[in-house]
Structures are given as structure tokens and as C-alpha cells.
Structure 1
């Protein structure tokens, strides 16, 4: 009887620890004109990246930006352009944290960057499929994963399949604008703008 009690107690304690660990990670909701995408961020694995992203969130930077690049079977990218495809002014680039052990799996959010590894600013992408080719390999830097979708993955996949066309010097721009109306923190992590 004692062994059964101990096993139940241990299992319950483990589940509470897992739940508390999940609560420790910041949660945000990305409100779009097509629906909401909820995300959990990983500050322990990508502290610089999460802080950078949340600074943009807390300052309302993403309000009115769009997903300007969507590719079926790949990803959706946003966080840097207005609906008129005007580039928003950003802060200095951050250090690439792609060697953090996280993989570009379906539903993960990563920082977009140029060919220069430490060039990420405000733009991010959400993987619509597993994109292992975007991970760091040995000395080759990848794209830094810093969170995952917890609700709304179906919307991410649907957005990735949006009909696209070239526009304003960009390829793969959704023909129907996918607008990020707001990104805000959830729960106890909420901050006023």
C-alpha cells in the first residue's frame, strides 16, 4: 500500500513540477485578422532572443505589421513590414542563439535573419513543417528557435498555404493581407504598453 501511495505522490509531484515549469515560461497571443496564435517562449534556452521579442511586444511594435512572406510546406514570416510593405525601423541586431539545442520543428517560432548570423532584429517566422535544415550544424549557425505554438497551429498551416504573388520587391506575399493586429503577453506576464 505504501509503495502505491509513494508512486501516486511521486507522479503527482512530477506533474505539478511540469505544470509549474510551463507556467514559468512567458506566454503570448498573436492576434491576427484571421484568428489567434498562442505561443510559449523559452527564455532559458534563448534569453537574448526572448528578451528582444518581448521588448518589441511590450512596445507595441508588431501592431499593424503583416506576414509578408508565406510559403506552403515551409513557414510564415512577419514582424517587420506594414501593410504597405514599408519596413519598420528596428533596434540593433542581436546575437544568434541557434546553438541552444532547440530544433526548427513544426510550430516553433524562430528569428529571421540575413546571411550574417548575428543580424536578427524584429522579424520572426513560424515553421509550418519540420525544417531541420534551418538548425545549427557543427560550426554552421542556424536560425534561433525561441518558442512554440501552443494553440493555433492549424491557422499557421492555413496561412502558409495562402495564395501569394510578388509585390513591392517581395516574393511570396499573401494576396489577402494577413495582419498582426497585436501581440500581447498572457497571464501574470502581462505588461501595460
Structure 2
């Protein structure tokens, strides 16, 4: 009888251990994907402030290699936790890791729990990693999140990783675009009805576009043509705009390819090619007239080198146009003329109401 009792106790113990093991690792872990959403919500400024503080703490924990268990939901399967640990473990031991941006674009309540544990969301997190070689890489990761806690405090914790990029090189770049021309450099002199605009060109970074600009200008293509589209605090635009039938006219007998370069940007005063989509450059052009970035909160979202972001804050421009349009030059004198052209009264199509300002001539000379 005694032996039978011992055998029964051992059997029950083994069974209980198995149940606990399954609970800890896989079998009875919670599947947050089974939850039912009951209320789609907007993230408040207060929510975003708390989220930022939480994610800054998270990045600091990675940097100091303190472990991230407090930032992971405790009741998911162990293998799911290990996926999260392994991803962020790869950033430990770097020269530096720095929080950049976080946002909760999707936020909702779920049923089946109390008010301290019923918020879920999808979070976008950006951070930068500096290697020992001083290369700076920006990483973006999307994560499923749960806010868990009690009446004293709630914390956002990671349920799982939905997506991550491979990292984008955002090391500082040379910013010669806004420098004055050097002696002997060929510059562009654009004479308009409103005055003279002087521009630098960048043939080493946008050789195809610059050659096209010089060739058409010397042929007199732009002489007598208007700035047909003007938007104050945005751009003034010339060349053959949509509908004229001459959009593809170029020195290459048709459209030519984009030349997008990380060292050239849509800063205030940039000379750029307009287009109708990728690789549809012809003779359309615009000059940026925007002395202040209109939505500075967009800068952390864009994967730019920090010195590019700083320059946008300093001189203005339109960062959202970068990566889509070829930058081939920069105004170094005559921005007051650009501003005068941009200040014309326009109709609903952004065309000057009367007497549009024309280009009289474009010539080139040594500085």
C-alpha cells in the first residue's frame, strides 16, 4: 500500500511538472492573436509621451546590456520570446545605440480582460546604431504591443516583431550644396522679368541632368517661357508642364533617367527636375522656395543623416521630395527674385492669374 502511494505521488508529480513545463514554454502560453478588438482608438499626445519614455528606456537597456525581459510580455511562448531577444541582442556591444522615434499608428481595446490590461497596438520604433567604424545605421521595426499592469502602473510590452528592415546607412554626408561657388567654377545666370537668379550646378553628381540643362539653355529653349506653376512657400516651376506635348523634349531625344543622390537635397533654393514618375525627366524644372520646413515633425521619420536634418532645420526646404526628383543645382544669389516669382497671384491650378513672369535668358560663365 505504501509503495503504491509513493508510485502514485511520483506519477502525479511528473504530470504536474509536465503541465508546468508546457505552460512555461508552449502549450498553455497565451495567443494574443486570438483576442477580439472592441474599440479602435487614436493615440493621444500623452500616450505618445509615455511611449517615448518607455522606448528610450528600452534602447538604454539594450545599450547597457541589462536584458530586456521587463519589456517582453511574460505569458507568450518561450520560443517567441527568444525571437525578440535574438533580434535586439544583435545590437549589443556596438559603439552607440540611440533612440530616434516611436509611434503607435494602430491602437485598440480588446475584450476579455480588465481596464488595466486591455490596450493593444502596433508600434513603429526607429533607432540608430553607431559601429566601431563610425558608420551610422538607422533601423526601423514594427512590433505588436500590449499595455499590461494594475491600478498602480501599466507598461507597454512587446508581443512580437511584425517586420524589420535591414538598416539604412545614415552616416553624415558632405554638404557642399549650399557653399558659394569656387573660383573658375561654371555657374548659371538666369535672367527673368523679375530679376536675376544665379545658380551653382553639380555636374559630378548629376551629370546627365546638368548636361541636358546646359544644352537646352544654350539652344534658347527656355527663353521667353513662363514660370507657369507657382506655389508660395513651396516651388516655382517652369519648362513644358503637363499637357503641352513637349514634356519629353530633351538633349537626349526623349525622357532620361533619375539621378538621385544622398548628398543633394531639396533645400530652399534647390534647382531640380520635375517629372511625371520615375525616369521621365525632360525639360521640366522647379526651384524650391520654402524657407522653413513646413512639418518639422516629419524629419525624424525620414532616414536622413543627422547633418542633413540639421541643415533642413537651418535653411528650410521640402524633405518629402527627396529621393523622387533629381537635384542638379542650387541658387547662391537671387532668392529674393525667387520669392517675388512665388508671390504672384494664382488660380486654383497654381497658374499666375495675369502676366506670368518669364525667363528672358539663361547663360553660363566662370565664377
TM-score tier by shorter-chain length is: 0.7 to 0.9
Counterpart position of 2:210: 50
- Determine whether 1:146 maps to 2:328: yes
Question: What's 2:274 paired with?
Answer: 112
Q: Give me the whole-angstrom Cα distance separating, in 1, the residues matched to 2:205 and 2:220.
A: 24
Tell me the secondary structure at the aligned position of residue 66 of structure 1.
coil
Query: Is 1:33 aligned with 2:193?
Result: yes
Tell whether 2:259 aligns with 1:125. no
Q: Deviations over 1:5-25 (max 9, x none)?
A: xxxxxxxxxxxxx98x72454
Would you say the 8 A contact 1:27–1:40 is kept in 2? yes
Q: What is the aligned partner in structure 2 of residue 184 from structure 1?
A: 363
Q: For 1:99-132, what per-residue CA distance to the aligned partner results, in whole angstroms no more than 9, with x for missing partners?
A: 3521100001000001x21001011000001010
CA separation in 2, counterparts of 1:61 and 1:45?
A: 24
Distance 1:108 1:156 in 2: 11
- Between structure 1 and structure 2, the one with the greater Rg is 2
Q: CA RMSD in A?
A: 2.1
Runs of 4+ in 1 over 6 A off after TM superposition: none
2:300 corresponding residue in structure 1: none
Following the alignment from structure 2 to structure 1, what is the Cα–Cα distance between the partners of residues 182 and 274? 25
Unmatched 5+ stretches in structure 1: 1-17, 137-141, 189-193
Count of matched residue positions in the alignment of Structure 1 and Structure 2: 157
Q: Distance in 2 between matches of 1:100 and 1:58?
A: 29
Contact 1:33/1:178 (8 A) holds in 2 = yes
Q: 1:72, 1:161 within 8 Å by CA — same for their partners in 2?
A: yes
Corresponding position of 2:342 = 160
Matches within 5 A, 1:5-84: 22-23=182-183, 25-80=185-240
Report the secondary structure of 1:126's partner residue.
strand
Deviation at 1:39, TM superposition (A): 0.7
Tell me the TM-score normalized by structure 1.
Answer: 0.74
Of structures 1 and 2, the one with the larger relative CO (CA 8 A, separation 6+) is 1
| Structure 2 alignment gaps of length 5 or more | 1-178, 291-316
1:172 aligns with 2:350: yes
